[in-house]
Amino acid sequence: MVVILGYDPVELGRKVEKAVCEGLKRRYYRFRADRWYGGIATADCCGCNLRCVFCWSNYPRDNPSKTGKFYEPVEVAKRLTSIADKRGFKQLRISGNEPTLCKNHLLAVLEGIEEKYVFILETNGILIGYDKKYARGLARFNNIHVRVSLKGASPDEFARLTGAKPEGFELQLRALENLLDAGVSCHPACMLSFSSKESVERLIRRLAEIDKALVEEFEPEEVILYPHVIKRLRKAGVTPRRFFTPGNVPPEYV
């Protein structure tokens, strides 16, 4: 899929959904146990509405119709809970690409998960910021926590890292507002490897204006330099100020 720089991530999401959504089914390329959050059952989905230069899962993102296969929501819920039960995990997630694509599928997956598990929704927040009703739909579930991953600390950084229109950054912040308004547990994370000190300080002030709790719960992210990520960053001419190597991620980031 060819994406023109300065794209609208909401419109791109609609196009990607045609490749990864089929009724209530969605494409996934793997199910696994993972170390993050102290142990979590993970379903890796295909397709995203952003084109981040630091993405570690770019093949399923850029080739969604050629990757994985379609799963019914009940199948996804069963696979996640089966992994969690075998490993003694209490946390589940959909990761790999953007889980908020195929809204009806995601909500149906959540309906199939018992409240004894915590579902961590890792999202760029674009669609939740665009559609306030999305946050209200998520509010139906008491066992969900949303991690909104900001792509840079400013509109300019967002545009440079994703290739999307800078206005998309505001949709990410609006997602936090919509989630809080709906009473959904959430916190912001932010890719800071490419950010200046000044832009981070401005972001913190913006988050405080929304809710001071967002500052207290703010989660810094740093790029992990997998070999394929290094190649993509070099091709894009983007150099991180800070980074981790795959075998050197500090315990507090896991």
How do residues 183-222 score in pLDDT, each as one tens digit?
A: 999 999 999 999 999 999 999 999 999 999 999 999 998 8
Reported as a pLDDT band with limits 50, 70 and 90, residue 22 is very high
> What are the extents of the domains in the chain?
9-240
The predicted model scores a pTM of: 0.92
What is the amino acid identity at position 142? N
Q: Which fold has domain 9-240?
A: TIM Barrel (3.20.20)
pLDDT in tens, 93-148: 999 999 999 999 999 999 999 999 999 999 999 999 999 999 999 999 999 999 99
* pLDDT > 70 in the chain, percent: 97
pLDDT of residue 248: 80
Report pLDDT for 250. 75
Q: Over the stretch 148-159, which tens digit does the pLDDT of each residue have?
A: 999 999 999 999
